[in-house]
């Protein structure tokens, strides 16, 4: 992977390389070179205050190179990917978002005419063009304006409103099996929009389906995106569900490509739970092609065992929804996903779509008459801990002194009882140590041993919080 692109596009702090003005303009120009002189593109963004600044610079570059670009305004990542697939006149889609990251971060994601993220070769070509063009861009240094927080909701343009209506219709048609006009009538659904890109779309979608919606995270101000809310903080929607006595609740992230759920009892269901629930449902419907499901190296071992008991094979890949999709296409499979809540149903969409997944899960509940806890009953998860160590650099893991020895010792202790994985985050300066086994005590000891080695050689003073599977 090059210097600009990580596992999910270009990421950084707005105003700093690679999201400085010169590089952003060069990126717009490079998109035209890669997709063609008459390239027509659609651009959308989440609710970060730096979004309009980046969008303006990117559009400036596209138009300077002879391309055309249309803005959808605040729109979800999967919504842009859908629109590009659905409209033959569009050669590419661009999303300005840093997904689940804090508001100071932002990013640029690019989608092909198929609504798919660029592969490594396409990214390498785009990166080469950006680096060459950045040296020629004649632009005065600019920094993001200290824009005031949004005092009122920006009104969508007629074009954006049409795209929104079209996208919501697509979701309903592909995820809900009922032909009823209001199939969720009588349901009380809790929604946490993370103050992000779906803050309008999520409540609207559920209300159009007849649900009574209780919503939080739908008042963005440019800086509160993902702040104590959304899929990274499911306790917020959990409290909402319990307080308002909802039948179910779900929380999206900032650009709405991932989702986690809460049932009426306040139990939290992440991507691993959803992967198992949907795999079992699709298999019963005869729609799970090849009885294969794609997960990642972080998918809980309990999911693999539970699927195996149903005759379903779990194929693992590297972390990142783009790698999940690659394996889904290679396996001709129907379902894949990550613990974070990225779920991909490739026959409907080639990327994770939080709203699509939410509707699909609600439809399973409606069809079966079963709560999420009942649907998950066949899954026994292994104790798991993820320790996030903030690092000052990311050298190859094999060069970290003592790490290979620590991993060998831990793996010897775990034996057949568990596993350990160490990797760098593709979007943050973080090393992640994941350990799972049949003993909580063994998990904690092993995770601490490996994390301490990394922290001693690369770590910043404070590590990020660790995560435990539920």
Which residue ranges make up each domain of the chain? 5-134, 167-176+185-265, 269-375, 384-468
The superfamily (CATH) of domain 167-176+185-265 is Alpha-D-Glucose-1,6-Bisphosphate, subunit A, domain 3 (3.40.120.10)
The model's pLDDT over 207-227, given as tens digits with 9 standing for 90+, comes to: 999 999 999 999 999 999 999
Active site residue 99: yes
Positive or negative, the CA dihedral 115, 118, 122, 125 is: positive
Average pLDDT in the 332-338 region? 98
pLDDT value, residue 154: 63
Residue 160 has pLDDT above 80, yes or no: yes
pLDDT value, residue 440: 93
Average pLDDT in the 370-390 region? 95
Count of CB atoms situated within 10 Å of the CB of 279: 26
Q: Strands of 92-96's sheet, edge to edge?
A: 5-6, 9-13, 105-111, 92-96, 40-45, 68-74
pLDDT value, residue 83: 97
- Per the model's pLDDT, the better-predicted residue between 463 and 331 turns out to be 331
* Predicted confidence band of residue 467 (pLDDT cuts 50, 70, 90): low
| pTM attached to this predicted model | 0.90
How much is the mean pLDDT over the chain? 93
Q: How far apart are CA 299 and CA 320, in angstroms?
A: 12
Residue 128 has pLDDT above 50, yes or no: yes
Average pLDDT in the 176-197 region? 95
Residue 139 has pLDDT above 50, yes or no: yes
* Predicted confidence band of residue 145 (pLDDT cuts 50, 70, 90): low
pLDDT value, residue 466: 55
Percentage, residues of the chain above pLDDT 70:
95
Quick one: which of 467, 308, 460 has its CA closest to 380?
308
Residue 469 has pLDDT above 90, yes or no: no
Lowest average pLDDT, out of 3-7, 129-133, 376-380, 458-462, goes to 458-462
Percentage, residues of the chain above pLDDT 90:
85
Topology agreement, domain 5-134 and domain 384-468: no
Average pLDDT in the 426-450 region? 92
pLDDT value, residue 143: 73
Lowest average pLDDT, out of 76-80, 150-154, 318-322, goes to 150-154
pLDDT value, residue 146: 47
CATH of domain 269-375: 3.40.120.10
Lowest average pLDDT, out of 143-152, 262-271, 316-325, goes to 143-152
Residue 53 has pLDDT above 50, yes or no: yes
Give residue 86's Cα distance to chain centre. Answer: 21
What architecture is domain 5-134?
3-Layer(aba) Sandwich (3.40)
Residue 464 has pLDDT above 70, yes or no: no
Residue 1 has pLDDT above 60, yes or no: no
Query: Which residue out of 50, 71, 97, 99 is catalytically annotated?
Result: 99
Give the chain's length. 470
Residue 463 has pLDDT above 60, yes or no: no
CATH 3.30.310.50 fits 384-468, yes or no: yes
Average pLDDT in the 284-302 region? 96
Average pLDDT in the 331-354 region? 97
């Amino acid at each position: 992977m090059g210097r600009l692109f990580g596992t999910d596009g270009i990421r950084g702090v707005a105003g700093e390389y690679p999201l400085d003005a010169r590089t952003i303009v060069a990126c717009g120009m490079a998109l035209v070179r890669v997709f063609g002189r008459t390239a027509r593109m659609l651009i959308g963004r989440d609710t970060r205050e730096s979004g309009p600044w980046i969008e303006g610079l990117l559009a400036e570059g596209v138009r300077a190179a002879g391309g055309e670009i249309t803005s959808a305004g605040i729109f979800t990542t999967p919504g842009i990917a859908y629109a590009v697939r659905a409209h033959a006149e569009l050669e590419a889609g661009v999303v300005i978002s840093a997904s689940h990251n804090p508001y100071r971060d932002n990013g640029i994601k690019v989608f092909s005419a198929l609504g798919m993220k660029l592969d490594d070769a396409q990214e390498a070509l785009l990166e080469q063009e950006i680096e060459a063009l950045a040296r020629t861009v004649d632009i005065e240094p600019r920094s993001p304006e200290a824009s005031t927080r949004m005092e009122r909701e920006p009104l969508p343009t007629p074009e954006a409103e049409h795209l929104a209506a079209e996208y919501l219709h697509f979701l309903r048609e592909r995820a809900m099996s009922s032909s009823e006009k209001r199939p969720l009538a009588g349901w009380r659904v809790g929604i946490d929009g993370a103050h992000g890109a779906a803050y309008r779309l999520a409540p609207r979608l559920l209300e159009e389906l007849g649900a009574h919606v209780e919503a939080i995270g739908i008042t963005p101000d440019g800086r509160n995106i993902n702040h104590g809310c959304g899929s990274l903080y499911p306790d917020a929607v959990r409290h909402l569900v319990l307080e308002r006595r909802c039948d179910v609740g779900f929380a999206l992230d900032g650009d709405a490509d991932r989702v986690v759920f809460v049932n009426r009892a306040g139990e939290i269901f992440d991507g691993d739970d959803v992967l198992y629930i949907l795999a079992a449902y699709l298999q019963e419907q005869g729609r799970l092609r090849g009885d294969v499901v794609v997960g990642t190296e972080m998918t809980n071992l309990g999911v693999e065992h539970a699927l195996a008991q149903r005759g379903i094979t779990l194929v693992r890949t590297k972390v990142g929804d783009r790698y999940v999709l690659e394996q889904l296409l290679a396996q001709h499979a129907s379902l894949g996903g990550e613990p974070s809540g990225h779920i991909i149903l490739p026959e409907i969409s080639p990327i994770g779509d939080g709203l699509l997944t939410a509707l699909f899960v609600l439809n399973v509940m409606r069809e079966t008459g079963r709560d999420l806890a009942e649907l998950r009953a066949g899954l026994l998860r292994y104790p798991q801990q993820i320790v996030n160590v903030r690092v000052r650099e990311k050298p190859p893991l094999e060069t970290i002194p003592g790490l290979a020895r620590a991993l060998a010792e831990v793996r010897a202790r775990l034996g057949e009882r568990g596993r350990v994985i160490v990797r760098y985050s593709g979007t943050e300066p973080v090393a992640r140590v994941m350990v799972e086994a049949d003993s909580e005590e063994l998990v904690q000891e092993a995770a601490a041993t490996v994390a301490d080695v990394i922290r001693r050689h690369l770590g910043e003073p404070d590590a990020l919080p660790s995560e435990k599977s539920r």
